[in-house]
Amino acid sequence: MSKKNDRSKRKAAMAERPAASAARLDAAPAAPRVLTRDELIAELNHDLAKEYSALIQYVQHAAVITGPQYDAIAAELTVHSNEEHQHAISLSNQIDFLGGVPAVDVAQVRVSPSSKSMLELDLEGELDAIARYRERIAQAEALREYGLRRALEDILIIEEEHARDLQSALDR
């Protein structure tokens, strides 16, 4: 295969990749489950536990990821960890505002000795968060909790950025 053909194929693949990544991030959510206020608080506490675990996971991955191909994303993982911390604070404040008590549970932290696997685990977590927050936004809307909806939309925007960063680092 000539270098010109190889370059053309890479350009075509690069042009297709953003569309494929966007498609995964833009999947239409199913109709949300209608919740009571107490059930919503419980779900938000579940989300909070996931934010705590994401924070820990990102800190660990940023510290141990190796390989020159991961230099840029290693620094970004530290940024992600700080943003996950802000999400936890925002969720805690919203839970308190709704009359609940922010939990201190931590969901499972997923680590790996493989740098690529670390990023894949992080991406899985972000895609899960995106799906959960889309559902939570619809649930907040159904309960006419517009301030909560707005706070969740802000979190969702950052989670989608995290997923794009990880997809790019994984060359997806």
pLDDT, tens digit, for every residue of 45-75? 999 999 999 999 999 999 999 999 999 999 9
State mean pLDDT over 13-31: 47
Residue 131, number of CB atoms within 10 A of its CB: 14
pLDDT of residue 16: 42
pLDDT of residue 10: 36
Topology of the domain covering 35-169: Ferritin (1.20.1260)
Listed residue (86, 3, 20) closest to 52, CA to CA? 86
Confidence class of residue 26 from pLDDT cuts 50, 70 and 90?
A: low
**Contact 155/87 with Cβ under 8 angstroms?**
yes
pLDDT in tens, 85-134: 999 999 999 999 999 999 999 999 999 999 999 999 999 999 999 999 99
Q: Cα(118)–Cα(123) distance, rounded to whole angstroms?
A: 9
State mean pLDDT over 76-86: 97
pLDDT of residue 28: 56
Burial of 172 (0-12, 13-18, 19+ CB in 10 A): middle
**Eight-state DSSP code of residue 103:** -
Checking if the pLDDT of 6 tops 50, the result is: no
Checking if the pLDDT of 5 tops 60, the result is: no
Computed over every residue of the chain, the mean pLDDT equals 87
Structure tokens at 14: 């690069």
